[in-house]
Amino acid sequence: MTEPNATTPEIPVIDLGAFLAGEPGAAEATAAKLRETCETVGFMYISNHGVPQELIDRTFATAAAFHAQPIEKKMELMVDKAMQGYLPIRGSTSRASAIVTNPEPNENEAFFIKREGKDAEESNRWPDLPGFRESALAYYAALETLAQKMLPLYALALDLPADYFAEKCDAPFSTLRLSHYPPVKAYAENQFGIAPHTDSTFLTLLAQNKVQGLQIRRQDGVWIDAPVIEGTFIVNTGDILNRWTNGRFLSTPHRAFNVSDQPRYAIPYFFHPNANTLVECLPSCAIEGEAPRFPAQTTAEYMAWFRGRNYDHLRKAEPAIAAE
């Protein structure tokens, strides 16, 4: 990949240790770094996040165990209308974020898990694998907690009271995706492990992968590698926060490949506000004399649009989809 230049910052690493420990002044100092990153890069690494490595490793193993099943078993759990379940390889095309005109279907297969229990949209579908459900839900819960702990940083970064997002995101409409990218020696034109896209989220938490393959598009249009930094998560702002902030916090396009000789797994956690939370231009992001850039919509309304754009063909049996 092209070397980064001095005009755009690289992907910064933000240490959450002091903030999570509640050290005085740490929230404000960390929020200032986060603001800078969200306004210029849209991606960051977080270290000292408090999620045990053992839980992360177990979730990667869970993803591998799911995808190692025979295809017939996986097809029994074909995604439902709430986008829960199995999405086969080349079953998706990233259409929602018009970045490439005609991407080929994505060279990955995925299993989607959503909110369980109260406030769930539909019941999750589970494979018949010992420990799978417990393991996936433990990871889902840990990342929900981490995302919620980070919310005051976003609020402070936007000059809002620290608890501004808390009750808007206390029953988050989030998704865990367990993806498998088989190795592809030579990708054809417009073919990707996952085509360039932005995430629909408030924020996405991506555990570090053993097999590198993620790239992000800098503001100057140059694609750069997001190198593996062990022990960190990659965090990116998605479209919902981009809309909420009237475009101020970037939702940066990214894509992934697997040119290694081994399977690549990714376990992104897509954090959304509550289904009924109204996402409308934040007071601190309005531009005087100008209408908000995006219509006010609830998370559920926005997601219905997003899914229709990316996944509708599933119901119509056309070829092709996206990320959450």
Ligand X SMILES: O=C(O)CCC(=O)C(=O)O
Q: Is the dihedral of CA 221, 222, 228, 229 positive or negative?
A: negative
The DSSP H or E segment spanning 59 is: helix 53-67
Locate 209 and state its tokens: 């992968």
Examine residue 323 and tell whether it contacts Fe ion (CB under 5 A): yes
Q: Which of 199, 211, 239, 246 binds ligand X (CB under 6 A)?
A: 199
| 272: region left, alpha or beta (phi > 0 left; psi from -120 to 50 alpha) | beta
Locate 22 and state its tokens: 């509640």
Nearer to ligand X, 152 or 273 (CB): 273
Examine residue 239 and tell whether it contacts Fe ion (CB under 5 A): no
* Sole window of 29-37, 62-70, 206-214, 284-292 interacting with ligand X (rule: CB under 6 A): 206-214
Judging by beta carbons within 10 Å of its beta carbon (0-12, 13-18, 19+), is residue 102 exposed, middle or buried? exposed
Q: Which residues from 155-194 bind ligand X, rule CB under 6 A? A: 177, 179, 194
Angstrom CA distances, 7 to 37, 196, 220, 221, stand at 14, 22, 8, 12
Nearer to ligand X, 168 or 264 (CB): 264
Number of residues that bind ligand X (CB under 6 A): 13
Calpha distance 302→226 (Å, rounded): 28
Q: Which of 93, 268, 277, 310 binds ligand X (CB under 6 A)?
A: 268
Examine residue 323 and tell whether it contacts ligand X (CB under 6 A): yes
Q: Which residues from 176-205 bind Fe ion, rule CB under 5 A? A: 199
Q: Which residues from 244-263 bind ligand X, rule CB under 6 A? A: 254, 256
Calpha distance 160→229 (Å, rounded): 31
Least distance (Å) between residue 131 CB and Fe ion: 27
Least distance (Å) between residue 103 CB and ligand X: 13
Residues interacting with ligand X, by CB under 6 A? 177, 179, 194, 199, 206, 209, 213-214, 254, 256, 266, 268, 323
Residues interacting with Fe ion, by CB under 5 A? 199, 323
